[in-house]
Amino acid sequence: MAKTIMAVGAHTGDAQLTCGLLLAKHAMAGNHIITVDLTAGERGTPPSMSVSEFRKMNVSSAQEFASMLGGESIVLDTPDGELADTPAAELQLARLMREKKVDAVLYHWKNSMHKDHIQASKITENAIFFASLASFELDGLPPAPIRQMMYAENWEDAEGFVPYCYFDVTEAFPLWKEAVKKLYLTEHSKDFKYLRYYEALSVMRGALIKTDHATAFGIAEYAKRVKMDI
Ligand SMILES: [Zn+2]
């Protein structure tokens, strides 16, 4: 049965750049992928555009990215820079996880140089709790079948991040690269060479598992127990 993979980012670009390779791999395997941008990242406005124009452009580029993977894009209305871990934010995301019957969630690691990323990590973690808890009533929706949650490797969330699960994404790499070029950040950001960084990261992670391109994720300490029998 096809799975549904949801990647949650604080700003448009976060999920697509850090989780996109794994999303592309799943899309090619016939699974359903969803990107959720908790904000549109509209305050990174270039001088030539207004904040509202930039927001519109980011929303449509997130849509184009998801369409190229045959999936869906959801961009929430919270203003960029104003994310806060509130019960309303947690339940809004939990509701989406239930409605979409999500099997796996990819999201921000808890430490970050960006305040929105820290909030996004908390919001997502708590949303997973409310989405999964069968005894918690949420608009009559059945609990989401979430079995896997993993932290994405984001250059802004590097403090204490330890990659643990590696995925060979060599075949998905060309699709991801084409899709991610739809994002403003990828082609125009002067602050940080996003595409160059994430492409090189996939080569470096790939070398470690003896393939051309890989993507790596962290998981919670409690999920690292391995049952051994020697
Ligand atoms: Zn961000």
Q: What's the confidence (pLDDT) of residue 226?
A: 87
Q: What's the confidence (pLDDT) of residue 101?
A: 98
CA 165 to ligand 1 center in whole angstroms: 22
Please tell me the CATH code under which domain 4-224 is placed.
3.40.50.10320
CA 58 to ligand 1 center in whole angstroms: 13
CA 28 to ligand 1 center in whole angstroms: 26
Q: What is the mean pLDDT of each run of 10 residues along the chain (230 residues)?
A: 96 98 98 98 90 96 98 97 97 98 98 97 98 97 98 98 98 98 87 94 98 98 91
CA 186 to ligand 1 center in whole angstroms: 13
CA 9 to ligand 1 center in whole angstroms: 7
Among candidate residues 13, 149, 34, the one with its CA nearest the CA of residue 99:
34
Predicted TM-score (pTM) of this structure: 0.97
CA 13 to ligand 1 center in whole angstroms: 7
Contact 38, 78 (CB under 8 A): yes
How far is residue 103's CA from residue 6's CA, in Å, rounded to a whole number?
8
Give the residues across from 167 on adjacent strands: 215
Q: What's the confidence (pLDDT) of residue 45?
A: 87
Structural domain spans, the chain: 4-224
Q: What DSSP line would sit under 59-117, residue for residue? A: HHHHHHHHHHTT-EEEE--SPTT-----HHHHHHHHHHHHHTT-SEEEE--S--SSHHH
Q: What's the confidence (pLDDT) of residue 123?
A: 98
CA 205 to ligand 1 center in whole angstroms: 22
CA 36 to ligand 1 center in whole angstroms: 12
